[in-house]
Amino acid sequence: MLQRTRPFSSLAVVLAIMWSWSPLAGAAGDVAAGRAAFAKCASCHQVGPSARGGFGPQLNGVIGRRAGATADFRYSSAMANANFNWTEERLRAFMKSPDDVVPGNKMRFWGIASERQRDDILAYLRSTTR
């Protein structure tokens, strides 16, 4: 007796494997890992209901917010004059290399090399603004 193969289930397995190796896999990030990775940021930035500007601006609602626009932080002239809103792509680039995105900003941070960690931090920031 011939056994029928299931081409769709085989295709699904192949696609799942390809997706897991794709650079886009995990692009949404992991909130729990992002919370842990945010520890690098938390010495200067706060999120949450009682967040305030300190050594850096609070980051509640940063995605979509105008750069240099919170009232509780004194921004460098470079950041205050940056003429853009923070998108996820721009935040990702800023976390990688702040001076490349806003030359002359006063943030003294060399960046986060790991793309995965940047994605995780963005997932965490998205979760705090709901």
pLDDT in tens, 65-116: 999 999 999 999 999 999 999 999 999 999 999 999 999 999 888 889 999 9
The DSSP bridge partners found for residue 66 are 85
Domain limits of the chain? 30-128
What global pTM score does this model have? 0.75
Q: What CATH number should be reported for the domain whose range is 30-128?
A: 1.10.760.10
49: amino acid identity, one letter: P
| Nearest alpha-carbon partner for 95 in 75, 120, 77, 126 | 120
108: amino acid identity, one letter: R
The string of DSSP codes covering 22-70 is STTTTTT--HHHHHHHTHHHHTT---STT---SSS---TT-TTPBTT--
